[in-house]
């Protein structure tokens, strides 16, 4: 499976509310930045992803400009993604987001860094 296919599979897992932890590399150097959080280290990222899966539903993930560069054991990507979900309290969130990140291959491609942000008009 290519790095691009792994990213697309991750998007599918997010839409399906499937476990996301297997897409991330173990280690203290892992960093995942979301719209409202910064998680550092595999244990904290795994905890955050499990909580997200348990407390959100009805995900929409619309990739609009996925660009991936891949080398033998490292890949990086950027994308523009419409992302929406519903919280367990029934609150709906909908954002146009920017994604970027790095993956490393050690048998299987896994994220070693991910950044998701919302553009802000200045």
Q: Which domains does the chain have, with CATH numbers?
A: 3-117 (3.10.450.50)
Cα distances from 92 to residues 15, 38, 85, 88, 100, in angstroms, run 15, 22, 6, 10, 24
Q: What is the mean pLDDT of the chain?
A: 95
pLDDT at 104: 97
> What percent of the chain has pLDDT above 70?
98
- Tens of pLDDT, residue by residue over 40-97, are 999 999 999 999 999 999 999 999 999 999 999 999 999 999 999 999 999 999 999 9
For residue 68, give the 3-state DSSP assignment.
strand
pLDDT at 45: 97
Cα angle 114, 117, 122; round to 5: 150
């Amino acid at each position: 499976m290519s790095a691009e296919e792994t990213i697309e599979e991750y998007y599918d897992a997010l839409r399906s509310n499937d476990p996301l932890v297997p897409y991330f590399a173990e280690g203290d150097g892992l960093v995942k930045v979301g719209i409202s959080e910064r998680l550092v280290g595999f244990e904290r990222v795994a905890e955050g992803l499990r909580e997200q899966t348990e407390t959100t539903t009805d995900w929409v993930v619309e990739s609009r400009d996925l660009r991936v560069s891949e080398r033998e054991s490292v890949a990086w990507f950027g994308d523009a993604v419409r992302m929406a979900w519903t919280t367990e309290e029934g609150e709906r969130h909908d954002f146009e987001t920017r994604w970027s990140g790095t993956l490393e291959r050690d048998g299987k491609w896994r994220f070693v860094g991910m950044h998701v942000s919302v553009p802000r008009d200045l």
